[in-house]
A and B are shown apart, each in its own frame.
Chain A
Amino acid sequence: MTPQTDQPALPPMKPDREVGIVGYGAYVPRYRLPGAEISRIWKDGMGGSPVAEKSLPGLDEDVVTMSIEAARNALARADIDPSQIRAVWVGSESHPYAVKPSSTIVAEAIGAVPATLAADMEFACKAGSEAMQAAIGMVGSGMAPYALGIGMDTAQGRPGDALEYTAAAGGAAYLIGPAGESLAVIEATYSFVTDTPDFWRRAQAIYPSHGERFTGEPAYFHHITSAGKALMDGLGAKAADFDYAVFHQPNVKFPQRAAKMLGFTGEQIEVGLLSNRIGNTYAGAALIGLTAILDQAKPGDRILMVSFGSGAGSDAMAVRATDLLAERRDRAPKTEDYIARRTEVDYAVYARYRGKLRTK
């Protein structure tokens, strides 16, 4: 059942000009719904939850407001004039408008207007790393001094569905710029996609559908390990050469198994594995794992990030922390600061906050 991907791997992707992360910022809203609450409502409290709890946005939050805060955190860690940002890309599956870009609102709010490219990206949970890839290409070609790539979601699961336990809210923003100003340099990337119908949502549908057993082997594991392996092979690197790794985290078990398949230890993925405490933040999931790692990595540390988006594909990125990282990271709230800010809600409050109650 493996898709037609037995062609030999191509070399990793690398821009002409060396680029890196000149600023990064995380965001997680403060509300948490324990898995036990969902189980209480739909399973009479029987059966476990794939995560302890998930994050959900407040009534006045959406992908735009969350992206603005993450972008401001990224800017706080960079020493740049926001008008020098020539591209703002927001990757999400929960943009507040069907037509009208989230990215222009974010660009306006942070002062990155008007000489700016702006667009919304959509690729299930891979939309955020896709935005980062585009920003790397934009800066790496010399077309822009700086470009902003964001992955942010306020994901919704159908009430009672298995995905309701994990569909969560959060994400991260990455400001890409010249390697010399970077907190972490991009070593290389590798992108890998096939047409695999594991998960989808039609235009007018509120909740997504999924291909049940189709989501594991041929989708998540095949794409993550293919992209990760091709990148490591291309760099001549082994799992042991990396200090940290983060894989798309739709739950806790999938990234643990993907790590094992690629030769990584539990220790290497521990810092970036946040899904048990915040759930699956979709387009933000791999990206916010990386912010948690950057919050504590030492100069010279190498990090592998591999995203996954249904439909399906993965972006693998190898980054290396620089001396600037330790100097700049305290300028904005850390990933753990947002995770620690926690207000537990019950299913009734969740149902109201997520618009699951009809009032007319």
Chain B
Amino acid sequence: MSVSQNWRLERQRYRLQGEECPHCGAKIFPPRDACPECAKPAQEPYTFVGKGEIYSYTTVIDGPLGFEYQSPYVVALVKLDEGPIITTQLTDLEGEPEIGMRVEMVTRKLRTDGDEGVIVYGYKFRPLLLPEA
């Protein structure tokens, strides 16, 4: 992905900013300007709380170019508390994750374009640092 494509995705990647549908109230991620629930236009920005649970996961042993330094790593489908399911890396794991495990969003290095290119930052999810009240 080019430097400018990454740049356009910053808000969504750094802050988990999606959209909220003004018609039916659905929370949308990634932002797509049309509600997947009621098909009406939806452009109101909404920043997700950043908590959810693991829906499914897999371990990547040999990561593709740009990810090789972080391999092996775990990629998961995380169901956000507001509804949407997103694909994300898990981080700060100790041992295997579990389906249904509660996780929270952190901003980490996603990949680097070699030694001289840009560092791409974005969301990952980790096991909760503190138990929920």
Identify the A interface with B (CB < 8 A). Answer: 30, 58-62, 64-65, 68-69, 96-97, 105, 108-111, 333, 337-338, 341, 343
Task: Give the residues from 116 to 133 in chain B that come closer than 8 angstroms, CB to CB, to chain A.
Answer: 119, 121, 124, 129-130
Q: Which residues of B contact A60 (CB under 8 A)?
A: 70, 89, 91, 108-110, 124
- Whole-angstrom distance between the alpha carbons of A105 and B109 in the complex? 12
A30 to B124 alpha-carbon distance, docked (Å): 16
In the complex, per-residue mask of B24-60: 1 if CB is within 8 Å of any chain A CB, else 0: 0000000000000000000000010000000000000
List the count of A-B residue pairs having beta carbons below 8 Å apart. 50
**Which residues of chain B from 90 to 124 have a CB within 8 Å of any chain A CB?**
91-92, 94, 106-110, 119, 121, 124
CB–CB B130/A337 < 8 A: yes
Pair B14/A108 contact, Cβ less than 8 Å: yes
- A65:B121 contact, CB within 8 angstroms: yes
Could you list 8 A-B pairs, sorted by A, with CB under 8 Å? Answer: A59-B69, A60-B89, A105-B121, A108-B11, A333-B129, A333-B130, A337-B130, A338-B129
Tell me the B76-94 residues at the A interface (CB within 8 Å).
Answer: 89, 91-92, 94
A69→B94 contact, CB < 8 A = no
Min CB–CB distance A15 → chain B (angstroms): 31
Contact across chains for A62 and B94 when beta carbons are under 8 A apart: no
Footprint of A on B, CB under 8 Å?
10-11, 14-15, 47, 69-70, 89, 91-92, 94, 106-110, 119, 121, 124, 129-130
User: Nearest chain-B residue to A96 (Cβ)?
Assistant: B119
With a CB–CB cut-off of 8 A, which chain B residues contact A68?
14, 107
- Chain B residue numbers with a CB within 8 Å of A62 are 109, 119
Check A97/B109 contact, CB under 8 A, given A30-B92, A58-B91, A108-B14. Answer: no
Contacts of A69 in B (CB 8 A): 106-107
How far, in Å, is A271 (CB) from chain B's closest CB? 20
Nearest B residue to A332, CB-CB: B130
**A62, A65, A110 — most chain B CB neighbours (10 Å):** A65
Q: CA separation between A185 and B129, bound complex, in Å? A: 29
A15 to B21, CA, bound (A): 46
Chain A residues with CB under 8 Å of B94's CB are: 343
Residues of A within 8 A of B106 (CB): 65, 69
Contacts of B10 in A (CB 8 A): 108
Given A60-B124, A109-B121, decide whether A65 and B109 contact each other with a Cβ distance below 8 A.
yes
> Distance in Å from the Cβ of B108 to the closest Cβ of chain A?
4
Query: B8 to chain A: closest CB distance in Å?
Result: 13
Q: How far is the CB of A176 from chain B (nearest CB, A)?
A: 22
B130 to chain A, nearest CB (A): 6
* Interface pair B92/A65, CB less than 8 Å apart: no
Shortest distance between the CB of B34 and any CB in chain A (Å): 25
For the complex, give the distance between the alpha carbons of A333 and B15 in Å: 19
In the complex, A255→B3 CA distance in Å?
Answer: 45
